[in-house]
Each structure stands twice: as C-alpha cells, then as structure tokens.
Chain A
C-alpha cells in the first residue's frame, strides 16, 4: 500500500439500532498514513460508527456503503474484518474470566497469520514479542496470565486494548473513546502506543469526546459528528475550537443548514 491510497471509504451511511436511526448519511474517507479524529457530543453516533464498521451485532445498515481496501466491508463477517487488518479498541473492554490474556493474544495473532497464509508464531518467539510490547505499554507481566481484562483497572483495560493493537499491527485501527477514564500518565502511554503504529501503510480513526488525547496524538483530520452525520471537518485547530466553544454552536449550525 502506498501513502494516500484509500483504506476506508464510508458513503452516505444510514444505520439503525432497534427503532432509532443513529447514523444518518455519514460519509468519511480515510487514506493510508492518516490519523482521523471523530469528535462529537454524547449520543451523536460515535460508538455506532466504530461498532458497525467492526461488525458488532445489533445494528442494521439501512443504506449507504463502507469500502475497506476495495472490498465491501459489510459483506465480511467480523472475524474476517479483523484478520484483514481492522482493529477496534473497545470503549468498554469486556472481562472474560477463564480465558487467559496471553492465550487470546496468541489466538488472535495466529488467526490473522493463518488467514494470510503464514505459519503460526513460535511459542518462544511470541512470548518475547509480547513482553517487549508489554514493556512499551508499561504493563505488569502478571497481567498476561490473568483472565482477559479480569479485575483490570480502567486504565489497565485500555492499555490492554492498545497492547493487542500493537501486536496485531492493524491496517485500520478504530479507537472508541480509548482516552475516556484515563489519568494523564496512562493517556500518554496509550498515545505512545497509537503513535508507534503511525506509518505510511496504516490509518487510525480516533473517536473521542475530549480533545486532550489529540495533544498527544496529533490528527491529520478532525471531524465533528452530530445527529448521525459529519457536520464539519477540518484540521487540528477544529479540535481546539471545539474545546473552547463546546458543541452547541455546531448543533445550531446543523439546524440552520
């Protein structure tokens, strides 16, 4: 993949959850090498966007399309989206007692490797790799042998998401409010993890309510999501303006438009 190539193209997407239309004509184009930030008030549809792209059950695509690396994203089951390099960092990472954290990491990596026709990772090599990533995330090694997210603090859960991400090296990372509930130190570690993956062949979509993560992960594009569609796009300065002025002026703007 070369820089500037389209990784994700969402066109006029309308998505319903139950009776409610949540995304209402959303369009977005993400190119290789870019980091996009999607900001918006609560209930604007931010999590629905990442959820529907990752294949979370419970959504109905009413119309529109999402093309990922030239393929119809919605025709792929969620596990295949993951193996094709799409990664969702959850806003609320799930606790799975009884499933060993390191086992999941290995199973996820091997699922991806098998899909790509690569041999499974050697156990010894794998452990070395994980430990290296773990150190980068400043996570305790003890967390590896715990159940997935079991008894983890809020910050540990978010770091664990980024740990998985850095191991799987996704082509497209979707981060759903990964910054929420983090203290400043954890925020920096998470930001480093995201920045480490920046590269000409990848892209990241950060969904966030606050702009403070963007102090550490500087986005190429900032979008404001309101009422289920993107109402404004701009550069980094848009985030700062949002912080200063809040979201209300944009809502008024939408109503007027």
Chain B
C-alpha cells in the first residue's frame, strides 16, 4: 500500500514539472485529496481484488526516468497497420522523431509536454482534472504528475480514414513509474479509429499510470482498439473516461494479453440521446499475471445503448477480475443495456472474480446481464479427442476457441493477427502454433 506521506516525496521527486503556477495549483488540489484519502486500497469495494502490494513495489517516489531516448523502435513491436499515422509516447512523453505522418487536414495532434511549457493555461482548459472518488484517484495522480502526453483532435465532420496508431513504449532500463496523459476529442460527426498498443522496449520493472479521456461530440464515431503486450515485469494502471454526446458511438476492443499486472478502469458516460457503446474485452491472466478490470457505464440520455461482452481466461497462478457496473439513470428512458462476462479457469491455482452489477432507476428499459465462470467443456474435449487430437492440443484448441468471437470482431487485420499470435503463444501446446485455420 502506498502511504499518504509518500505523496510529498512523489511531488518532491517531480518538482521540475512544467506548467507554471496554474498547474502548480492543480497539482496542489490533487495532492490535497491524495494526502487526505490516499490511493484506493482493498477496503474500497471496487479495488478489493487488486494486489496493492505489487503495485506499491514500483518506485512511485523516484524521479521520472531521464531522457532515455531510444534511436529506433524495435520492429517486432510495431503493428504493421497499413497507412497508419503513428504517435509514439516514449516513457509517457510524445516523441516526434519516432512518430510519423501526422500532418493531415482535420487532425490536430498536440504534444502535451510542449503545451505545458508553452501555454499551460490552454492545457488546463483542454484537459479535465479527474475527480476525487476512489476510482479516479490514480487518474488524479497521473494528471498531476504527467510530464507529457498527447492531445488528439478530430475536426467536425472529418472522417480520418487511416487508423491512428498510438504506441506507448516503456524504454526505461531501471525500475520506474511513468505518469502520462492522453485526451481525444472527436468533433461532431467525425470518425476515428484509434489503435492503442502498449509495449516495453526493455524488461525493467516499469509501471505506467495513464489518465485518458475521449470526448465524442454529436454524431461522432470512435473505434478504439487496445492491445497490451508488455513483458511480465511491466505494470499498467489506466483510467479511461469516455463522454458521449447525442447520436455518438464508441466501440472499444480491449485485449489485455501482456504485462505482469494491469488495472484498467473504464468509465463511459452516455450523456446524449441515442449515444451508444460497444465494449469488448478479452483478458488472459496466465503465469503470474494479474488483470483487474473495472468498467462503469452511466446511461444518462434517452435511448442510450450498451453492449458489453467480456471474456477472461485465468491459468497458472494468474488472477483475473471484472467489476462491471451499468447504471441506468432516471433520465435514460428507453435505454438498452446488456452485459456478459464469461470466464474460463484452466488451473486450480488460478483465480477469477466476476461481479456484474446493474442498477436501474427508470422503467421502460431493456437490461440483461450474466456472468459465468467455468472450466473447459468435457463433452467438447471428448469430441476432439475422439477425432485423434491430443488431449493437450484439444484443451489448447478449446481455449483458443473461447476467445474467437471476440477476436474476430477486432476490426483491423494486423491487430487481430497480433492478438491471435499472443493467444496462441500463451497456449501450452505447439499444435496450434502450426497455424489454426
């Protein structure tokens, strides 16, 4: 657990952050909350499954890693997305040299580190300060201590055809904690596909703490693909907040397939009439990995819609948790929400906690939810084995199959293929590595 006193030391270690007096006040506000209430711990209902000691073992009080710039990105970590415009956040800061093809009409990419130096008042306006609730406090910390990040704006009516590839690279060679900030603003009736990819260039124990928001104006559509592919020493805490105006649509495909520990918070506010979201999530908690997901969707506008489909696999000593809450407010007449969480536990020492919660404050809505935790189906296993397949291969195949409808919905081939490869690599049998059809 992180002691409240340590926030002073974190602040001291980051005394040189840009932003001037305006940001100093913002930081002081965050620190006041953090000092008084601390970061969430296992007494907080939504945080009780997280291994807090493991998070606290990362060096929160050390200064951010110096400008350890790598000359080039490891090719193997790059997704070959054709025509993609690449934005690289190296250790939480925008790296112009590694990024490319950003000059496009209607697309505005702003280096937040530079903006904090140049025009901190503008940054104050453009970035929302996270709230004080326990669920927001890591975001509050990231907002206060981020040295940089990226702001992406899509102009009204623009359809950005090529995907935007946001690559988070942890390059530190020493243990480090890196706070960063991302904001996406999609103008009215604009379209954007954003691929967020998390990789580590080294194998140092690096924790990334990301505070991010995406704002969709009326009629905007954002498709957001997220692939976690760090090594086992890496940890990630992230807080995404999505706000949707009328008739906008937000689709997210989360593929938590790497890293040693991931705590992912996603808060979606369906504010405008007819706003809708589809949330797909797949996690693989094998080895010693812990994946802890919190989702909250607020239905505020009338006729708002959510389809949430999460699948989790735990194996080895892996631990997975999904805390999924959907709140249909009194203003959300005609809302439609469905939530499904299916989980597979492959070994006795693995652990999965699935807590779907539905809270409804209005009549005239359609809501469904369900959560299952199970093992592989013995009838299916026998069927495969009776066709001559090895029992181990049959188990691997069924595990792979369990992910398939989620993976097949990932709209970009190279991302889908990368997810597929990570799943296959994690399966204990070589049969699949020879190439499932």
- A23 touches B (CB below 8 Å): no
- B220 touches A (CB below 8 Å): no
A91 to B85, CA, bound (A): 54
Interface string of B379-396 (1 = CB under 8 A from A): 110111111111101000
A54 to B390, CA, bound (A): 15
A5 to B403, CA, bound (A): 47
- A56 touches B (CB below 8 Å): yes
Do the beta carbons of A96 and B386 come within 8 Å of each other?
Answer: no
- A99 touches B (CB below 8 Å): yes
Interface string of A87-103 (1 = CB under 8 A from B): 01010011011111011
| Minimum distance in angstroms from A103 CB to a CB of chain B | 4
Look across to chain A and name the residue whose beta carbon is closest to the beta carbon of B397: A99
Tell me what chain A mostly uses at the interface: helix, strand, loop, or mixed: helix
Residues of chain B lying within 8 A (CB to CB) of residue A237: none
Q: How many residues of B contact A (CB 8 A)?
A: 26
- A166 touches B (CB below 8 Å): no
Do the beta carbons of A98 and B401 come within 8 Å of each other?
Answer: yes
Do the beta carbons of A107 and B383 come within 8 Å of each other?
Answer: no
Do the beta carbons of B436 and A96 come within 8 Å of each other?
Answer: no
- A115 touches B (CB below 8 Å): yes
Do the beta carbons of B431 and A107 come within 8 Å of each other?
Answer: yes
Residues of chain A lying within 8 A (CB to CB) of residue B382: 55-57, 78
Residues of chain B lying within 8 A (CB to CB) of residue A99: 384, 397-398, 400-401
Residues of chain A lying within 8 A (CB to CB) of residue B403: 98
Do the beta carbons of A97 and B391 come within 8 Å of each other?
Answer: no
Do the beta carbons of B401 and A97 come within 8 Å of each other?
Answer: yes
Do the beta carbons of B378 and A57 come within 8 Å of each other?
Answer: yes
How many cross-chain pairs have Cβ atoms below 8 Å apart between A and B? 83
- A83 touches B (CB below 8 Å): yes
A108 to B436, CA, bound (A): 13
Do the beta carbons of A94 and B383 come within 8 Å of each other?
Answer: yes
Give 7 nearest A-B pairs by CB, closest first.
Answer: A98-B401, A98-B404, A111-B388, A103-B437, A82-B388, A108-B387, A94-B383
- A178 touches B (CB below 8 Å): no
The interface of chain A, by Cβ under 8 A from chain B, is: 54-57, 77-79, 81-83, 88, 90, 93-94, 96-100, 102-104, 106-108, 111-112, 115, 145, 147-148, 164, 168
Residues of chain B lying within 8 A (CB to CB) of residue A83: 388
Residues of chain B lying within 8 A (CB to CB) of residue A78: 382, 385-386
The interface of chain B, by Cβ under 8 A from chain A, is: 377-380, 382-391, 393, 397-398, 400-405, 431, 436-437
| Minimum distance in angstroms from A117 CB to a CB of chain B | 15
Do the beta carbons of B380 and A96 come within 8 Å of each other?
Answer: yes
Do the beta carbons of B385 and A100 come within 8 Å of each other?
Answer: no
Look across to chain B and name the residue whose beta carbon is closest to the beta carbon of A83: B388
Do the beta carbons of A82 and B401 come within 8 Å of each other?
Answer: no
Q: A98-B402, A99-B398 are in contact. Are A115 and B388 (CB under 8 A)?
A: yes
A145 to B436, CA, bound (A): 12
Residues of chain A lying within 8 A (CB to CB) of residue B386: 54-56, 78-79, 81-82, 88
Given contacts A102-B437, A106-B437, A107-B387, 6 further A-B contacts (CB under 8 A): A78-B382, A82-B387, A94-B379, A98-B401, A98-B403, A108-B388
Chain A CB within 10 A, most for which of B378, B405, B437: B437
| Minimum distance in angstroms from B309 CB to a CB of chain A | 14
Do the beta carbons of B391 and A79 come within 8 Å of each other?
Answer: yes
Residues of chain B lying within 8 A (CB to CB) of residue A145: 437
Do the beta carbons of A100 and B436 come within 8 Å of each other?
Answer: yes
Look across to chain A and name the residue whose beta carbon is closest to the beta carbon of B402: A98
Chain A CB within 10 A, most for which of B383, B398, B405, B431: B383
Look across to chain B and name the residue whose beta carbon is closest to the beta carbon of A78: B385
Do the beta carbons of A79 and B405 come within 8 Å of each other?
Answer: no
Do the beta carbons of B402 and A100 come within 8 Å of each other?
Answer: no
Residues of chain B lying within 8 A (CB to CB) of residue A112: 388
Q: A98-B400, A98-B404, A107-B431 are in contact. Are A93 and B388 (CB under 8 A)?
A: no
Residues of chain B lying within 8 A (CB to CB) of residue A107: 387-389, 393, 397, 431
A78 to B168, CA, bound (A): 48
Residues of chain B lying within 8 A (CB to CB) of residue A81: 386
A81 to B391, CA, bound (A): 13
Do the beta carbons of B383 and A93 come within 8 Å of each other?
Answer: yes
Look across to chain A and name the residue whose beta carbon is closest to the beta carbon of B403: A98
A244 to B382, CA, bound (A): 37
Residues of chain B lying within 8 A (CB to CB) of residue A55: 382, 385-386
A104 to B381, CA, bound (A): 12
A88 to B405, CA, bound (A): 29
